Amino acid sequence: MSIIQQKLKHTVWECKYHIVWIPKYRKKRLYKELRQYLGEIFKDLARQKESQIIEGHLMKDHVHMLISVPPKYSVSQVIGYIKGKSAISMFQKFRDMRKKRYWGNHFWSRGYCVSTVGLDEKIIRKYVKYQEEQ
């Protein structure tokens, strides 16, 4: 069992989630330069919502993330923010993506999968980190 280390003014917390989401139409676009770019963008956007990406892995057609989110934010707020702002950032940096059938600057699919991480954090971290080998 991990020790609770996060604190807000009147709260001690440990809220971690395993998140998975896909690009719109499950297009295999997450590779090369875009993959490296997104890793840094995701970390920066998470910090803006006082969250921390503990582990993350981008496959060609989906994103896996273990993220710590403070209780003052909902998971949907943080993930919606990360997905929305990262799409805008990608379309600004990689202008050729606009020609590739992403109407209205929508890169990510609407939904995502989320599960809470409790005592199995080590197993989830290992899964996210090494999932490409499985």
For the question of residue 127 being annotated catalytic, the response is yes
- 131, 14, 76, 115 alpha-carbon torsion, rounded to 10°: 40
Q: How far is CA 81 from CA 10, 50, 125, in A?
A: 25, 12, 23
Which one is catalytic: 73, 81, 127, 130? 127
Would you name the residues annotated as active-site residues? 127
